[in-house]
């Protein structure tokens, strides 16, 4: 929540003349670097405090959210969050190693402060950050080496990705970040890939691929449906965002790949194709 508010504290430089990349983004990113250890440590403190919980009730989620909000508000690492989670000896050393690795992923998750760009590599860094949190048990106990249950992973993926998009779309538009490695109109959009895949998986898992014509892949051409369901289905929300961003441009011209994908018969086919695309165009590069 608090990170979204940083845009108000570091507004774009109105005197910047470049077509892409407002230099005020460097101030935003410097704040991220400055406060990232506090943010990560608040996550680990919350994990330790509620490590035995099978389910996180509203009270737990609210407490952890407030702790994270407080951590994102801190100017440096010498804060009360550190005092609350002091450990001794080897445990303290191990925790510092974990924090150092996690903040590195977090720094790379919101764009490059020198190049003033953002792309799927930055997006991937954020999900490596989440994967690392998952591996140390922050999304459910991993003492038995079993991954969190699918229902929990689904909720985590959709909720965190939604909030992540709110931040990244804000910095992309306000600071006019250049698309990093973009394929232009032959990419999914200028910046993101995984939210489309997660959105297709969500629709597939909800059984909206064979039994209801209204929610088949070609439903993205139904403007009223997109407006109605954008908050419910991530894929529809991503499509609506593109259409609102590129108003007046026919969708088949602004997003020919997504337009072609809409002709596939099911969300299963869409998700399989998007996964191959991500593996080939991002992970294998």
pLDDT in tens, 134-167: 988 888 755 556 778 888 889 899 999 999 999 9
Task: Examine the pLDDT at 5 and tell me if it is beyond 50.
Answer: yes
- What is the number of H-type helices and E-type strands within the chain? 13, 2
Q: In angstroms, rounded to a whole number, what is the distance separating the alpha carbons of residues 216 and 210?
A: 7
Distance of alpha carbon 81 from its chain centroid, rounded?
24
At residue 230, the 3 state secondary structure works out as coil
pLDDT at 71 over 90: no
Question: Which has the higher per-residue pLDDT, 62 or 266?
Answer: 266
For residue 114, CA distances in Å to 21, 74, 103, 134, 179 come to 9, 24, 18, 30, 14
- Residue 20 CA to residue 115 CA, distance in Å, equals 10
Residue 46 pLDDT > 90? no
pLDDT of residue 88: 52
3-state SS, residue 96: helix
DSSP state letter for 279: I
User: For residue 59, what pLDDT is reported?
Assistant: 75
Residue length of the chain = 285
When the pLDDT of each residue in the chain is averaged and rounded to a whole number, the result is 85
pLDDT of 52 strictly over 80? no
Task: Please give the residue that has the higher pLDDT: either 240 or 83.
Answer: 240
Q: What is the pTM of this model?
A: 0.88
- Beta strands, E only, 123-199: 178-180
Read off the pLDDT of each residue in 184-200 and give the average, rounded to a whole number. 85
pLDDT at 51: 67
Residue bearing tokens 């101030």: 27
For tokens 């449906």, what's the residue? 225
Residue 202 reports pLDDT greater than 70: yes
Listed residue (90, 110, 102) closest to 47, CA to CA: 102
Range 43-64 average pLDDT: 75
Confidence band of 201 (pLDDT split at 50, 70, 90): very high
Looking at residue 77, what is its pLDDT?
45
If one counts every other C-beta atom within 10 angstroms of the C-beta of residue 37, the result is 22
- The whole-number pLDDT of residue 162 equals 96
Top pLDDT among 160 and 92 is at: 160
Q: Per the structure block, which two tokens stand in for 57?
A: 């009730």
- pLDDT over threshold 70, residue 68: yes
What whole-number distance in Å separates Cα of residue 40 and Cα of residue 77? 10
Choice between 55 and 24, residue whose per-residue pLDDT is larger: 24
Residue 105, pLDDT > 80, answer yes
pLDDT score of 189? 86
- Helix (H), strand (E) at residue 227: helix 223-229
Q: What is the dihedral of CA 110, 116, 121, 124, to 10 degrees?
A: 0
* Share above pLDDT 70 across residues of the chain, in percent, rounded to a whole number: 85
Give the residue-averaged pLDDT of 168-172.
95
Which range scores top for mean pLDDT: 139-143, 208-212, 231-235?
Answer: 231-235
The pLDDT of residue 53 is 61
Q: Quick check: 28 pLDDT over 80?
A: yes
């Amino acid at each position: 929540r608090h990170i979204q508010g940083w845009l108000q504290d570091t507004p774009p430089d109105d005197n910047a003349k470049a077509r892409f990349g407002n230099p005020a983004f460097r101030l935003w990113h410097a704040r991220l670097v400055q406060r990232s250890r506090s943010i990560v440590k608040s996550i680990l403190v919350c994990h330790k405090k509620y490590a035995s919980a099978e389910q996180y009730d509203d009270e737990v989620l609210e407490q952890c959210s407030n702790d994270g909000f407080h951590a994102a508000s801190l100017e440096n690492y010498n804060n009360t969050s550190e005092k609350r989670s002091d450990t001794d000896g080897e445990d303290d050393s191990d925790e510092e190693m974990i924090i150092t690795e996690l903040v590195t992923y977090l720094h790379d998750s919101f764009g490059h402060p020198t190049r003033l760009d953002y792309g799927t590599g930055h997006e991937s860094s954020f999900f490596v950050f989440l994967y690392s949190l998952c591996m140390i048990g922050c999304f459910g106990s991993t003492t038995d080496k079993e991954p969190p249950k699918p229902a929990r992973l689904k909720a985590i993926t959709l909720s965190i990705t939604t909030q992540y998009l709110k931040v990244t779309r804000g910095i992309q538009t306000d600071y006019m970040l250049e698309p990093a490695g973009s394929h232009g109109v032959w990419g999914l959009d200028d910046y993101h890939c995984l939210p489309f895949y997660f959105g297709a998986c969500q629709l597939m898992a909800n059984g909206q691929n064979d039994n209801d014509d209204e929610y088949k892949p070609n439903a993205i051409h139904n403007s009223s449906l997109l407006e109605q369901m954008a908050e419910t289905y991530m894929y529809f929300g991503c499509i609506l965002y593109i259409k609102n961003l590129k108003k007046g441009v026919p969708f088949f011209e602004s997003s020919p790949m997504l337009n072609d994908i809409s002709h596939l018969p099911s969300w299963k086919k869409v998700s399989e194709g998007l996964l191959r695309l991500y593996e080939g165009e991002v992970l294998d590069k």
